[in-house]
Chains A and B, each alone.
Chain A
Amino acid sequence: MKRIFDTQLIGPFAAMVIVALIVALTTERFLNPGNLSNLSLQVSIVALIAIGSTIVIFAAGIDLSSGSMVALLTMILAQLLKFIGIPLVLALPLILFFGGLLGLFIGLITAYGRIPSFITTLAALIAFRGLALTFNNGSPIFSLDPALEPIFYGKLFGVPLPFFYLVFFYALAAFTMNFTKLGREIYAVGGNPAAAVLTGINVRKVQTTTFVIAGFMTAVGAILMSARLNSGSPNYGQTLELQAIAAAVVGGASLAGGRGNILATLMGAMTIVIVQNGLNLNAAPSSVQNIVLGLIILLAVGIDMWRAEISALMGRIFGRSSSQQSSSIKKEA
């Protein structure tokens, strides 16, 4: 357990708690049971997609495609259910499979075609949105299946189902990243691809795998999105990819790759959603929400980059002379 809950979680956890405290103190309704369960619904889609985005980032890639992929997959799901008449129990695994397949394409083109993932997924971001519009003349498809909605709104022991999805997938991801060969290889490829090649790691295969995971998790998000609104639409998931990346970054994942803790991404997503929720409860317009989101990202990365300066400043404020400290350490040595 020490491996999963390491020191990298302290910062993102503190940020989440501080933000929650501020919102709780300033907004009465925040701690209502209704609002809290609403919160887990709100965070679920972005947090699940962020698992994939984060794992791609761990391998020093970036996935910009997930927002559009959500739209495309909701349209495919709608098509399957409404016009082709495939039963839900078959359609859902198919969507998960398609998500993985789209991820596989992106991964193969990126890793074996040696095109930077920023470009391949940017291309996918644009193309998938276009592809989504080719279904049903570009119009949303509503009232897909009455059995769809409970997937999102259902409860177990009074707890919303998406909470369980989060626990399941984050536990799986944390296990994979910390205890499996694949997880170690992903960190190795992100940390130093040249060294990974020379230690016999199949770098391209690992990179491709991260995109398959990202595609699969995006499909999970797409299913929840469809279930939430019982529909499919080519307009779903706008900027979702950026929110997922923001969750990873606020959670401390290094965009250079190789560093970060997957559970911190969940905290990053929570932090973002709590802020949005607080602003919502105080009836702030969406323009303000976007500005605040931008500032949070800047602040999260800034705190990480300026860590040395901040601790030096703290040292000065609390009157700890660094030279005194160092000479005493030297004597011990």
Chain B
Amino acid sequence: MTPATPLWEFVDITKAYPGVLANDKVCIRLMPGSIHGLLGENGCGKSTMIKTLSGVQQPDSGQILYNGKSVTISDPQAARDLGIATVFQEFSIVPTLSVGENIFLGNMPRSRFGVIDWARVYDEAARVLAEMDVDVSPETITGTLSVGEQQLVEIAKAIAMDARMIILDEPTAALGEDEIERLHQLLRNMRERGTAILYVSHRLDEVERIVDEVTILRNGCVVRASGETKINVSEIVSAMVGEDIGEHYPKERNATDGIVLEASGLATKSGVKDVSFSLCRGEVLGLGGVLGSGRTEIARALFGTDELIAGQVTLNGKPVHFRREIDAIRAGLALVPENRKFDGLFFNFRASGNVTAASLGELSRFGILNLKVEDQATHNLIRDLEISTQAEEKTVNFLSGGNQQKIVIARWLFSASDILILDEPTQGIDIGAKIAVYKLINRLTRAGKSIILISSDHDELLAMSDRIAVVQHGTIARTVDASELTHDDLVRASADIPHSKPEEAFA
């Protein structure tokens, strides 16, 4: 199936930014009909490589061969002309346009008079979507779709242009389990047709499932070259991190019998229905379920963001009613939101402003902030959590995802919250930072804090939770001890969505 000549060959690609050598003589060979994994921790040079390959920037040196001939990818349009499609991690769709318009954006089919041929736009878009098995009308306004569906529209753009090489940067970060499976099937189909696929992901379980070859980068250099067919996750991890990291999930069991929080019959307008559960001191309660099952909404209901229309939250035996977030925060709750970029971080602040943002009242007297306490506490947290010391001087947009996530969690350490809701706390951060977050969870539970952990990474959820509540359609279907569940149980339990494929439910 795989011919001997590579479709694309990138030889000794070097790219430097002021102060950092992002790519140092990186070589990648992409074979037609092959899925090639590009792996590495944050800051290893993956993004730089992707930008070079998609024509967003030029390499300082190196050679690019297309079918054995030397070419230059001078800009994104040139990349497109050469059949390269890139699905960036940050969406490049226009939310106010229809799905069909987005799929053909910048490439609209035109009739003879140069007018956009709308019939063809929508017909072709419908064909691509059908081919992808995506049940979305091409006339839908893209912004009204779920994040997962928007991601599929991104990929539809690439398919519509008949790309011979597709670059996917973290394509599954926002997808639920069934959507990931659908995407993978799609990629396998494209592989059959001889497309070369460059697949960048942090989720190694996926990589194991779908990738044919890997290139692993560390500090801008290739540490493991392509062409290897046998993929072993623990080898990949050691190659990425550069050392044997030992236990992947350093779980400590700190749960006690004392109930701190009890929810009974919670319901909101956002779709939470009859949610009841209890949370013990020192416990990690995992919320499992697919994207859109209502896990985030449950978190918002607890935190006073979404108004309760029914039900009661009891905290340390006393009924409480949170009208706004500040009530929940004062009562000792904390929320690390799913999307740290949009909902978590203040990119205009250094670490200090981010750390104290939820505790400004405690930090001030007569409205005047105690900046000495702020600086000292931030300094200590940066040291304790092994956050890059750059965070003291620079605004947080200069930090890696892992450091950013630690800062968001540090905010709730500073506020001395007792119950932390962590919504996808390790999404999009590298292995080293993930383990740091796990250790932080241990440290919190050891100190008697309780944690509600929301995660789409099943392995992580199983390993780090004491009990798991499976969420379906806005309600908790069942709550079981984490040790009684296997990965497959969780996938099956959480992916059980009758309304998406009714005929299969009876099969």
Contact = CB atoms under 8 A, between A and B. Distances in A.
Interface of A: 3, 179-182, 184-185, 187-188, 190-192, 194-202, 257-259, 311-312, 315, 322-323, 325-327, 329-330
Given A191-B348, A195-B346, A258-B346, A179 B369 contact: yes
A179 B368 contact: yes
B305 interface: yes
B369 A184 contact: yes
Nearest 7 CB-CB pairings of A with B = A258-B348, A200-B326, A191-B348, A199-B358, A323-B16, A191-B346, A200-B329
Contacts of B360: 181, 184-185, 201
B506 interface: no
B402 to A, nearest CB: 17
Contact of A198 (B17, B20, B219, B325): B325
Given A198-B305, A325-B19, A327-B16, 18 more contacts: A179-B369, A180-B368, A188-B353, A190-B348, A194-B342, A194-B343, A195-B346, A197-B325, A198-B337, A199-B358, A200-B358, A201-B357, A202-B324, A258-B347, A315-B18, A322-B17, A330-B20, A330-B220
Contacts of B225: none
Nearest to B336: A198
Contact of A323 (B21, B220, B342, B344): B21
Contact of B345 (A3, A184, A190, A192): A192
A199 B357 contact: yes
Interface in B297-346: 303, 305, 324-326, 328-330, 335, 337, 342-346
B411 interface: yes
25 contacts: A3-B371, A181-B361, A181-B368, A184-B360, A188-B349, A191-B349, A192-B342, A195-B346, A195-B357, A198-B325, A198-B335, A198-B343, A199-B329, A200-B325, A200-B358, A258-B346, A258-B348, A259-B348, A322-B18, A323-B14, A329-B19, A330-B20, A330-B21, A330-B219, A330-B220
Contacts of B329: 199-200
A74 to B, nearest CB: 32
Contacts of A311: 18
B346 A188 contact: yes
A180 B357 contact: no
B185 to A, nearest CB: 34
Main secondary structure of the interface of A (DSSP, over half): helix
B498 interface: no
A234 B238 CA distance: 74
B347 A192 contact: yes
Contacts of A312: 18
Contact of B411 (A197, A199, A322): A199
A199 B358 CA distance: 5
A197 B360 CA distance: 13
B343 A195 contact: yes
Contacts of B16: 322-323, 326-327
B146 interface: no
A188 B350 CA distance: 12
Contacts of A184: 353, 356-357, 360, 369
Contacts of B20: 326, 329-330
B367 interface: yes
Interface in B357-374: 357-358, 360-361, 363-364, 367-369, 371
A327 to B, nearest CB: 6
Q: Which of B303, B329, B348 has the most CB of A within 10 A?
A: B348
B60 interface: yes
Contacts of B347: 191-192, 258
Q: Which of A180, A184, A257, A312 has the most CB of B within 10 A?
A: A184
B367 A180 contact: yes
Q: Which of A3, A180, A326 has the most CB of B within 10 A?
A: A326
A199 B60 CA distance: 43
A293 B305 CA distance: 46
Nearest to A260: B348
A329 B368 CA distance: 41
Contacts of A323: 14, 16, 21, 60
A180 B14 CA distance: 47
A202 B324 CA distance: 9
Contact of B344 (A190, A198, A330): A198
A330 B19 CA distance: 8
A40 B303 CA distance: 52
A326 B48 CA distance: 15
Contacts of A201: 326, 357, 360
Contacts of A191: 346-349
Nearest to A312: B18
A194 B357 CA distance: 13
A200 B417 CA distance: 13
A187 B342 CA distance: 16
A9 to B, nearest CB: 16
A70 B18 CA distance: 48
Contact of B18 (A187, A259, A325): A325
Contacts of A192: 342-343, 345-348
A18 B290 CA distance: 60
B346 A181 contact: no
